[in-house]
Amino acid sequence: MSTDIPKAYNPKDTEEKIYRQWLESGFFTPENLPGKRTKPFVTTIAPPNITGELHMGHALENTLADIIVRMKRMQGYKTLWLPGTDHAGIGAQNVVEKQLAKEGTNRHELGREKFIERMWEWREKYGHAILEQFKKLGLSVDWSRTKFTMDPEYQEAVKTAFLHYHEKGWIYKGIRVINWCPRCATAVSDLEVNYVPERGHLYFIKYGPFTLATARPETKLGDTALAVYPDDPRYKNYIGKELEIQSVDNTVPRDQLPQIKTIKILVVADEAVDKDFGTGIIKVTPAHDLTDSEIGLRHQLPSIKVIDEKGRMNENAGTRYQGLKTAEAREQIVKDLEALGLIEKIEDYEHNVGRCDRCNAVIEPLPSEQWFLKMKDLAKLALNALDTKQVRIIPERWETPYRNWLDNIRDWNISRQLWWGHKIPLEGEEDVLDTWFSSALWPFATLGWPNKDSKDLTEFYPTDFITSDRGILFLWQTRMIFSGMEFMGKAPFKDMLIHATVLTKDGKRMSKSLGTGVNPLELIGKYGTDALRFGLASQATGLQDLRFGEDLMVMGKKFANKVWNIARYVMMKNGKDYQWRNIDPEELKNPWAIQMNEKIKEITDKIENYAFADAADTLYHFMWHEIADKYIEETKDKNDQETKDTLAYLLINSIKLLHPFMPFVTEEIYSFLPLPEKQLLLVEEWPLK
């Protein structure tokens, strides 16, 4: 056995050393790549929040991107994978506010200027942590181009974009019902509301001649109409009429018995009504429901705000309910209505409750004065990018939800009542812009826009590829597309891959707080990075969800060891006197060399078509069950030149094909091969020219 290569592969002894070699080589930076490379291949990292730490979604997403980037680099492209982080407006501000609370203070006591200083201190101390963790994954990104969405140049890009939209008349300020988080004290995007199934009740309340069902009886105090479906025969004769109904007198103090008062309420017809829900008639509270708000606008109904920004009933709710939290008001008004004989029945009911994506507080739809971006023309640009094939969505099934969202899009509420973020660049404004407004500019702002003379912008835009999971298809990817079309005249990337969402083995959402999360760094420590990467890639089938199990890591580790043993056998078999060289495929005509050539084409095609699991599976079975189990067994009694050449040919090309998936073990093996004019495997030539 050769003494040049150790008996066993130990990732703990190898990975840090190899990553340091890659960094020192400078080959992650496109200008430093060897050879004449004129055609670029560009992708940008989905910038993680500065509050973030590595999770399985990051591990999957960036492993897949690194597979593509490493193959393209070996194919001779001038590859750029640009990294960076997002300032994470709400999330980052929440983290620092929690720190202040522990210190017995808050941002208002500090004042805006001092609070922003604390935010920057936090970012400098912790904001780079996830990028360091990305290095553990072996990501071959150009660290010299690392960007942050609050860099001075990036802030200039955001300001330019806002003023551009404003001058076109696409940005306006107005009062509309938006999603409000009482805990974060800011508006949040429709797309940042998690609708969580929760057990509650459906209350059947008497409204004059009708009984209607609602899950939120506390909003009854802001009702301004009843609505029915236009052709519902049960209610057709009531449409347009104003009815007198009995309700609770909200002016009676809580320490007194409830009393009835008679109010007048209009019945309108609207197609937004679901005639199969409850009794087919709904109460309309324009100030506290997005759908009701739209009904109110269509029928010119008054809007009565009865819940304030702290999630409490306000003065419009009357003396009886003012100051109560919404849950308390619900309990009180149900008690009152029951006492007055105005509740017909109460049923158990499971429904989706909107909760803030950042803090999990219950979202309150409220009328609020905010800045909005008109979306009609921008939506057309995003649809045109798909129609003209400037953008390809993979898998194709995501085209339908993409189109549906753009066809039914509302104007974008772009203002946030925060201190951390991009301040709205108009005089007298204190609000900041939605985090996603700035990240929508990522593919070109990171390359130097709005400076049209930027060398990076000229050379590297548009990019070739982007990947993320379905959770931010509309929050980020779609917005990048219409932003690129508007500001650059071109879609920002050619291929948009929607990868699977990583779930637990039993199909549950991974969550650190719920105790269902899996820490990739712990798995790397236990099995090695290559095992993690290969295990994840082998499950990247294109399905919507990936059920993660640790057995994948075990498989990946065993495979890394098998590849190592194949290499040791070949080096032992060929001996110290064997003249290693890059063998021309035309030299070898035996079935094993021919099969290798077929696998090279097959695996290349699968990676280029994002069939990662198929490519990994093909490599696994070819190396383990064909090369190791069959050919190596055949060669044990042979010692001729063709056998040695074939073994060398199979080894060199198989580790080149495997390198994008398992970069550390393959780079380490390659370092022991005494090939002439050898470079790092990172930049060696891909087997298929």
Q: In what order do the strands lie in the sheet with 392-394?
A: 78-82, 40-44, 463-469, 493-499, 392-394
Measured CA distances, 278 to 147, 203, 210, 212, 346 (Å) = 52, 10, 12, 7, 12
pLDDT attached to residue 544: 83
Nearest 5°: phi and psi at 221?
-70, -15
CB atoms within 10 A of CB 215: 17
| Distances, alpha carbon 535 to alpha carbons 39, 304, 329, 532, 550, in Å | 32, 55, 51, 5, 9
Q: Are 90 and 186 in contact (CB under 8 A)?
A: yes
Question: Which secondary-structure segment (H or E) carries 80?
Answer: strand 78-82
Nearest residue to 185 (alpha-carbon basis) of 90, 296, 298, 267:
90
Beta bridge partners of 335: none
pLDDT single digits (tens) 587-624: 998 999 999 999 999 999 999 999 999 999 999 999 99
Q: What confidence score (pLDDT) does residue 546 get?
A: 87
Name which of 64, 94, 56, 126 is nearest 435 in CA terms. 94
Helix (H, G, I), strand (E, B) or coil at 44: strand
Instruction: Compute the distance between CA of residue 491 and CA of residue 656 in angstroms, rounded to an integer.
Output: 33
- Tell me the three state secondary structure of residue 345: strand
Helix 529-537, helix 612-621: angle, nearest 10: 120
Q: Which residue shows structure tokens 């940008």?
A: 44
pLDDT at 30: 98
What's the CA gap between 549 and 516, in Å, rounded?
12
- pTM, entire model: 0.92
C-alpha–C-alpha distance, residues 252 and 259, integer Å: 7
The partner residues of 365 in beta bridges, in order of sequence, read 179
Residues 6+ apart with CB under 8 A from 501: 57, 469, 470, 471, 544, 545, 546
β-strands 392-394, 193-207 pairing:
unpaired
- Provide CB contacts within 8 A for 18, sequence distance 6+: 663, 664, 667, 668
Distance, in Å, from the CA atom of 306 to the CA atom of 288, rounded to the nearest integer, reads 8
Query: Token digits for 421?
Result: 């973020």
SS3 355: strand
HEC string for 604-660: HHHHHCCCHHHHHHHHHHHHHHHHHHHHHHHHCCCCCHHHHHHHHHHHHHHHHHHCC
Which pLDDT does position 508 carry in this prediction?
Answer: 81
Angle between helices 551-574 and 529-537 (to 10 degrees): 110
Q: Quote the CA–CA distance of 79 and 69 in Å, as a whole number.
A: 7
CA–CA distance, 56 with 62 (Å, rounded to integer): 10
Residues in the chain with pLDDT < 70?
1-3, 511-516
In whole angstroms, give the CA distance from residue 145 to residue 447. Answer: 9
Asked if residue 489 lies in contact with residue 49, where contact means CB atoms within 8 angstroms, the answer is no
Radius of gyration of the chain (CA): 31
pLDDT score at 543:
82
Q: Could you give the domains of the chain?
A: 30-166+379-499 (3.40.50.620), 188-365 (3.90.740.10), 523-683 (1.10.730.10)
| CA 171, chain centre distance (Å) | 26
At 174, which helix (H) or strand (E)? Answer: strand 171-181
